[in-house]
Amino acid sequence: NDANAEYLAHLRAIFEKEKVNFQTAELGRVDLGGGGTIAYILALYGMNVIDSGVPVLSMHAPYEATSKADLYEAYRGYIAFLKHASLRNE
């Protein structure tokens, strides 16, 4: 993550309004980016960046496991984010 507190509060408000279950966690080291995404590159341009996704057990192994509930809530969260992002631009 490289987002300010106001942006995080905005995301939390969206998820709470849409009743999306979510949790937060820290990933990676401070100032070095997190989950191997391009988020740190986008943050160099001053963007508020959040890495978001479902937890995966044994990622990159021959067999990976995720929770259907986590996957469904991530889907709902992405839909809520896009819905509110499009309303914000009108």
Task: Give the pLDDT confidence of 22-56 residue by residue, as tens digits.
Answer: 998 876 665 555 556 788 788 888 888 888 889 88
Is the pLDDT at 73 greater than 70? The verdict is yes
- Is the model's pTM score more than 0.85? no
At residue 74 the predicted structure's pLDDT band, cuts being 50, 70 and 90, is: very high
Cα(45)–Cα(27) distance, integer angstroms: 21
Considering its fold, how many domains does the chain have in total? 1
The pLDDT score that the predictor gives to residue 53 is 87
Domain span at residue 18? Answer: 5-88
* Interval 2-20: pLDDT, tens: 788 898 999 999 999 999 9
Query: What are the beta bridge partners of residue 2?
Result: 49
